[in-house]
Chains A and B, each alone.
Chain A
Amino acid sequence: MIGGHPELYALPETNLFAGATYADVEKIFAARPHLRHGVLRAVAELGLGGQTRENVEAAYAWLEDYADLSTAELYRDLMALIEPRAPVDKSPLHVYTPGAIERIRSAFPDARFLHLARHPRATCESMNRTRQAGGQGGGVLPEEVWLRPHLRIIEGLDGVKQDNTMFLRAEVLLADPPRYLRQIAEWLGIDAGAKAVDAMMHPERSPFAAIGPENAQLGNDPDFLESPALRPFEEPPSDLDSPLSWGGAAFGDVLKQYAMILGY
């Protein structure tokens, strides 16, 4: 959404800052190849003229050639291709991987961070459904997968220049996009007029808002790629106290308190 603003550019999930160099990141990608799709699609689209199978292969080769390059330098290369627009990146590995936020802060001291949250129950239920659909079991408890990134974000953004970080509940944003997208634009110091805000409400216009070529299909939420659109949303009632549908008695105290601090 935010990247739809005329002065911004919505990159797919590059996940680049999960490592200091591309070689570091590639180790993660090797184990979970779909996490590589975003950066491949970005390089193909922005640097090679379009998201085709051949361009994705070329993008992969290009990244391999520069495997020792720092991910910050790679990112600057991508930024140069979208100038004068500024990138918007919501890569999940940037909050799931220790050190990623610090790498971003170090490379881009003036970067703006928008800390978004989703209700822990909805997050965990969604995660559990995905795991069941994929026949996956065990692993880190869903509630830990919710809590750890938030702790990492809160601590990672401690000390960031005060106007460079903000927090917003995704439910609030999705329930009233114009109200909050306007404020986000105001915060970023870019056009907050109706036309610009309207552009932000059309994420389907992004060149990455579709399933990609067969060798890089993802790079974003699969459900969104299947049916890219901003849909009406009403925050469903939820609570922090009732039993957990995926097992376990209830949320732990620390998770509940952080959830409350974040507005749940």
Chain B
Amino acid sequence: MSNKRASKPSGDPDEAGLEIGDFQRIPMSGFNESTRTSQAVEWFQDHLFVGTGRAPLGFMGRYTAKQGERGLFDQNDRGSDRPDTGAREEDGAQLWRFNPSTGDWRLVYDSPMVEGRDESPALYLGVGSLERQVVFLRSVDGVTFEECRHHGFGLGDVDVPSCRTIVGLKGRLYSTPTGKNFGRGMFDDNLTDYPIVFESRDPLNGDWQPACQPGFGDPNNLSINEMAIMNGHLYAATVNKRRGFQLWKTDAEGEPPYTWTQVLDDGAWRGPTSSIPSAVFVYQDALYIGATLQRQGRGGMDKLGPFAAEMLRVYPDDTWEMVCGTPRFTPHGLKRPTTGLLGGLGDRFTHAFWRMTEYRGWVYVGTAGWKWMPTYLWGRQDLSEAQMSYLREETRKRIEGEFSIWRTRDGDHWTPVTRTGIPGANPNNYGIRELLGTPAGLLAVPTSKLSASMGGGLELWLGTKNRSCASPCSSSRRRARAPRSCAP
């Protein structure tokens, strides 16, 4: 009865997947000690690029910019130092470049740092700001970065502090705003006043144009959190706290705004417990989507959890399957998980499938859990004491630094690389925020509850079967904390 489609494994069938012991910590120097997480990683011209924010976003309270008397008007197009807010020069984004063959790190951009279309591959990144507007950078050599014009998508004096995702299609760049700096509370970093896919045919000069109607015409779409390219189409997944995320696609033909088709609604008909798409990845002609419920602060729906993250798989013809999740009736028929597993690949305490990537014929997914911040235990009166006891007991089983990494060849048979984090990694880690398959290995980037100065900090781990790592690495097999030479 399953509507499961067979997936053909790709890559070398003899290629063994990575085990957790294959990961080695990459020594890092020069990073600001206030960093606790990466904002983005990318592979470009034989180097790894790691974007960081400094002193960003505490958990129980966040730094909220203070709006000056004239709002953002005094930034002109480039922003200002905003000394009235107490901003520090070091509270800005950095971009570091890593050479895996030499182990050298180089700071290639330190915020704040200009014509023509790209005739050769170029690296684009969006630099978020806790005070000002998002700035796009462009580099063709990975060393020299140009600041693109039209900060904040060229929207003028508005609160557009960052961008969520950047993809390219048909020679154009697409990105979406995210964040709210001014006059807001916590947990707004995934929301925006401008839930719009923007397109630029000349990113260096800005010239951003709306490629869709705001929120695809639905005021409950509060942001566009993930985008991907599949089969010549641009896919965009929205944040919708009221009814669950939506998935839209367009062939981007003609002039923007384009005609979009809705593929999924209401969190793939799970509802608002799948309100946010946490990861998207295209593998074997299918778009994989991780969906979950964002933590929402006091009074949020997350207090009624835990709600295990789901994984879905969408095909170019708009049919879809549930990889793991709650079986349900939908307008598109009965959906049962192709893996036979409920959400979280069978772990109800998996909060998010946070990042996915492919490496040597395997797809890897990194997770974050509910237990490290058990909002579902706080002040509940809707559950019986027996159920509360069960949740408390399960939560107590948490291991410091735990998260999961899973791998699969066919999307249906998943093997845990780890269920308890990376041995030897910082115990303040609580999830995998970045995964990137590179020629040098599989890069895994945990995110930490704390900055380095507080005992946590950003770590980079490289997984490879080839243990003759040219760079000095520390192996998880030795449970080493301090960087040291890697042994084969």
Cα–Cα, bound, A166→B381 (Å): 25
Contact, CB under 8 Å: A263 / B382 = no
A254 at the interface (CB under 8 A from B): yes
Interface range, A side: 20 to 34
A166 touching B329 in the complex, CB below 8 Å, given contacts A158-B387, A189-B1:
yes
A253 touching B299 in the complex, CB below 8 Å, given contacts A187-B334, A260-B272:
yes
Contact, CB under 8 Å: B304 / A257 = yes
Q: Which B residues touch A162, using CB under 8 A? A: 326-327, 342
Contact, CB under 8 Å: B299 / A166 = no
User: Which partner residue on chain A sits nearest B271 by CB separation?
Assistant: A263
A261 touching B334 in the complex, CB below 8 Å, given contacts A155-B387, A186-B1:
no
> In the complex, what's the smallest C-beta–C-beta distance from B274 to chain A, in angstroms?
11
User: Which partner residue on chain A sits nearest B387 by CB separation?
Assistant: A155
Find residues 137-165 in chain B having any chain A CB closer than 8 Å to their own CB: none
Contact, CB under 8 Å: A261 / B301 = yes
Cα–Cα, bound, A30→B331 (Å): 44
User: Which partner residue on chain B sits nearest A253 by CB separation?
Assistant: B299
A262 touching B271 in the complex, CB below 8 Å, given contacts A167-B328, A183-B329:
yes
User: Which partner residue on chain A sits nearest B384 by CB separation?
Assistant: A155
A168 at the interface (CB under 8 A from B): yes
User: Which partner residue on chain A sits nearest B331 by CB separation?
Assistant: A179
Q: Which A residues touch B383, using CB under 8 A? A: 151, 155
Cα–Cα, bound, A254→B271 (Å): 16
Q: Which B residues touch A167, using CB under 8 A? A: 326, 328
A163 at the interface (CB under 8 A from B): yes
B78 at the interface (CB under 8 A from A): no
A184 at the interface (CB under 8 A from B): yes
Return the contact of A261 from the options B272, B299, B329 (Cβ within 8 A). B272
Return the contact of B271 from the options A166, A186, A187, A261 (Cβ within 8 A). A261
**Max count, chain A CB within 10 A of own CB: residue among B326, B329, B342, B382:** B329
B242 at the interface (CB under 8 A from A): yes
Cα–Cα, bound, A263→B244 (Å): 9
Q: Which A residues touch B387, using CB under 8 A? A: 155, 158
Find residues 359-409 in chain B having any chain A CB closer than 8 Å to their own CB: 381-384, 387
Cα–Cα, bound, A183→B333 (Å): 6
Contact, CB under 8 Å: B273 / A261 = yes
B336 at the interface (CB under 8 A from A): yes
A interface majority secondary structure = helix
Cα–Cα, bound, A142→B382 (Å): 17
Contact, CB under 8 Å: B336 / A163 = yes
Q: Which B residues touch A158, using CB under 8 A? A: 387
A251 at the interface (CB under 8 A from B): no
Contact, CB under 8 Å: B329 / A168 = yes
Contact, CB under 8 Å: A261 / B304 = yes
Q: Which B residues touch A66, using CB under 8 A? A: none
A258 at the interface (CB under 8 A from B): yes
Find residues 236-283 in chain B having any chain A CB closer than 8 Å to their own CB: 242-243, 266, 271-273
Find residues 187-214 in chain A having any chain B CB closer than 8 Å to their own CB: 187, 189
Find residues 216-252 in chain B having any chain A CB closer than 8 Å to their own CB: 242-243
Cα–Cα, bound, A261→B242 (Å): 9
Contact, CB under 8 Å: A260 / B301 = yes
Cα–Cα, bound, A65→B368 (Å): 58
> In the complex, what's the smallest C-beta–C-beta distance from A242 to chain B, in angstroms?
15
Cα–Cα, bound, A17→B248 (Å): 46
Cα–Cα, bound, A254→B58 (Å): 27
Q: Which A residues touch B272, using CB under 8 A? A: 260-261
User: Which partner residue on chain A sits nearest B342 by CB separation?
Assistant: A162
User: Which partner residue on chain B sits nearest A255 by CB separation?
Assistant: B382
A180 at the interface (CB under 8 A from B): yes
Contact digits for A141-165, partner B, Cβ 8 Å, 1 yes 0 no:
0000000000100010010001100
Q: Which B residues touch A155, using CB under 8 A? A: 383-384, 387
Q: Which B residues touch A151, using CB under 8 A? A: 382-383
* A-B contact sample (11 more), CB < 8 A, given A167-B326, A261-B272: A162-B326, A162-B342, A168-B329, A180-B329, A183-B333, A187-B334, A189-B1, A254-B381, A257-B304, A260-B301, A261-B271
A-B contact pairs, 15 of them (CB 8 A): A151-B383, A155-B383, A155-B384, A162-B327, A162-B342, A166-B329, A167-B326, A172-B329, A180-B329, A186-B1, A186-B334, A187-B329, A189-B1, A260-B243, A261-B272
Nearest 10 Cβ contacts at the A-B interface: A183-B334, A183-B329, A257-B301, A186-B334, A263-B271, A260-B272, A168-B329, A155-B387, A162-B342, A180-B329
